Structure 1
Amino acid sequence: MNKNIVVALVICVVLSAAVWIGSTGWGYAVYRPIRNYDLFSLAIAWIGVIFALVKDHRK
């Protein structure tokens, strides 16, 4: 893995945690279930990172 892939992976993990906490209100508001569009955006982000990892591995 090169530096760009590691940075992308770290950013994806941090943004996933931010979306989870922001969407559910976990820790600062009344808990609510995560919304479908949040799950969709997380899935798209992780699919992009996985695609980049596979593409990098094949080089």
Structure 2
Amino acid sequence: MRKNETIAIVACIFLSLAVYVGSTGLGYTIFRPLRYYDVFSLVIAWLGFAFYLWRNRVKS
């Protein structure tokens, strides 16, 4: 894996954790379940990342 792909993976994981903690209130308020638009945004981000990886594999 190249440096750009590693940075993208770390960024997706970090942003996913930030969305999860921010949406659920984990650790700082009463826990509430993930909302649908939070799940939708996570799915879109990870699908975009998967498309990026797939597109670069096809080019190689």
Q: Same fold (TM over 0.5)?
A: yes
* Larger RCO (CA under 8 A, 6+ residues apart): 1
User: How far 1:53 moved relative to its partner?
Assistant: 1.2
Q: Which secondary structure does the structure 1 equivalent of 2:54 belong to?
A: helix
- Consecutive unaligned residues of structure 1, counting only runs of 5 or more, are none
Between Structure 1 and Structure 2, how many residues are aligned? Answer: 59
RMSD: 0.9
Structure 1 partner of 2:5: 5
AA in 1 matched with 2:34: I
TM-score (norm 1): 0.91
- Consecutive unaligned residues of structure 2, counting only runs of 5 or more, are none
Q: Percent identity?
A: 51
| CA distance in structure 2 between the partners assigned to 1:2 and 1:52 by the alignment | 13
Divergent runs of 4+, >2 A: none
TM-score (norm 2): 0.90
Structure 2 partner of 1:36: 36
| CA distance in structure 2 between the partners assigned to 1:4 and 1:12 by the alignment | 12
